[in-house]
Amino acid sequence: MTLYITPVPIGNLKDITLRAIETLNKVDFVIAEDTKYSLKLLTHLNIRKPMLSYYKPKEKIKTARIIKKLQTETAALITDSGTPVISDPGYFLIRTAIDNNIAIESLPGPTAFVPALTLSGIESNSFVFLGFSPRKKGDLLSLLKKYSQNSDTMIYYESPKRVEMFLQSAYEVFGNREFALIKELTKKNEQVIRGKLSDLEDILLNINLLGEFVIVIEGQKKPPSSSISIESIDDIYNHFKNEHNIPKNKIKDIFMKRKDK
């Protein structure tokens, strides 16, 4: 049968897609991270389905039972908010379903890091999503240092209890970069704070650290190309060799071809 990976709203219940509602109505059962939490959504949609809980500490144990049911039934995999598997349970189940030749369909839909990135005002052509950061500060610093020279914009999820430590650690490792702190996306108390990491003290004084946070930090900016002083043909050769790794003989060939023209 089929397993449908079904995104659900990250806050505003109006953000669920028509296809997701259709899928939840037609499947035989629903696999939910927290059945009590997800029951509120299904009740809101006037949908009644058998539900099985599926959360990280019990993923492997739960998967065997679910795979057996999927041999003859269809199911929707949902999470508490957003798209399953993105910093939420589901990978092990999907991998096992693939190994057992169970059909899988993934529906497009809500996920927090995309609207956070577009709201941030930070370069979005190239980015890396890093999910929830390590809990221990030493591990967090190691992760940040790993990406400190990366030019891609970085996106992290963080809990309200750890936002302050995370941002202070980011300032320690990255220096004074632009960042955006996006709080409670799509909800009544949604808030976007943009600034420099050096402004942390003032920013943290003016924000209530409650709710769910997405942090967007600009990547390492490439230093501007230094101007070169050209006093001889050798200066040109050396520039292309040092800056662009182009051998002297290739530059000579180019000059000779242009001269022949």
Backbone torsions φ then ψ of 216, nearest 5 degrees? -120, 125
Backbone torsions φ then ψ of 103, nearest 5 degrees? -65, 140
Higher pLDDT, 223 or 27: 27
pLDDT reading at 232 higher than 90:
no
CA-wise closest residue to 180 among 161, 142, 207: 207
Mean pLDDT confidence for 93-113: 97
| pLDDT for 258 | 59
Higher pLDDT, 104 or 59: 104
Please state, in angstroms and rounded to a whole number, the distance separating the CA atoms of residues 100 and 44.
34
Higher pLDDT, 216 or 222: 216
Please state, in angstroms and rounded to a whole number, the distance separating the CA atoms of residues 133 and 162.
9
**How many residues belong to the chain?**
261
Mean pLDDT confidence for 174-196: 94
Mean pLDDT of the chain: 90
The tokens for 39 are 């029951």
Mean pLDDT confidence for 5-18: 96
Domains and CATH numbers, the chain: 2-106 (3.40.1010.10), 113-217 (3.30.950.10)
| pLDDT for 257 | 62
pTM: 0.81
| Per-residue pLDDT reduced to its tens digit, 135-184 | 899 999 999 999 999 999 999 999 999 999 999 999 999 999 999 999 99
| pLDDT for 57 | 86
| pLDDT for 208 | 85
* Alpha-carbon distance values, 67 to 48, 72, 91, 188 (Å): 21, 9, 13, 39
| pLDDT for 201 | 87
